[in-house]
C-alpha cells in the first residue's frame, strides 16, 4: 500500500471461478511456427518484388520523359573526360619517367 491510499479493509475483487486465460497464440501455433515464418517470408518477398517493379517503372518513365536531357548531360561529361584523357596520360607517364 502507498501512503496516499486510504487505510482500512481491502476487499478482493478477483473471481476465482473465472476460466484461465487462453495461452498465447505463439504457444498454440507452435506446430505451425515454421510454416508461418516461411509464409511470412514469401509474402515479404512478393511485396518487395512488387515494390521493386513499381520503382523500376517510375524510374523508366522518368528516364523516358527526361532521357534526352540526362543522356546529353552524361555525353557532355564523357566527352570532357575523353578530351582530358590524353593530357592525364601524358602527365602520368611523365611523372613516372621523370
Question: Is 81 among the domain residues?
Answer: yes
Number of domains in the chain: 1
Question: Is 12 among the domain residues?
Answer: no
Q: Quote the domain boundaries for residue 54.
A: 33-97
Unique residue bearing C-alpha cell 607517364: 93
Question: Is 9 among the domain residues?
Answer: no
State the pLDDT at residue 5: 66
pLDDT tens digit sequence for 16-59: 666 667 666 555 557 888 888 888 888 888 888 888 899 888 88
- DSSP letters spanning the chain: --TTSPPS-------TTSPPPPPPHHHHTGGGHHHHHHHHHHHHHHHHHHHHHHHHHHHHHHHHHHHHHHHHHHHHHHHHHHHHHHHHHHHHHHHHH-
Question: Is 54 among the domain residues?
Answer: yes
Question: Is 3 among the domain residues?
Answer: no
Question: Is 49 among the domain residues?
Answer: yes
Question: Is 6 among the domain residues?
Answer: no
Question: Is 83 among the domain residues?
Answer: yes
Is it the case that residue 1 has pLDDT exceeding 60? no
Amino acid at each position: 500500500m502507498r501512503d496516499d491510499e486510504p487505510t482500512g479493509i481491502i476487499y478482493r475483487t478477483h473471481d476465482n471461478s473465472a476460466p484461465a486465460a487462453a495461452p498465447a497464440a505463439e504457444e498454440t501455433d507452435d506446430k505451425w511456427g515454421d510454416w508461418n515464418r516461411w509464409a511470412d517470408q514469401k509474402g515479404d518477398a512478393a511485396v518487395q518484388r512488387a515494390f521493386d517493379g513499381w520503382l523500376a517503372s517510375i524510374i523508366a518513365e522518368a528516364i523516358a520523359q527526361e532521357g534526352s536531357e540526362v543522356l546529353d548531360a552524361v555525353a557532355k561529361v564523357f566527352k570532357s573526360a575523353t578530351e582530358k584523357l590524353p593530357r592525364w596520360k601524358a602527365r602520368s607517364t611523365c611523372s613516372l619517367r621523370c
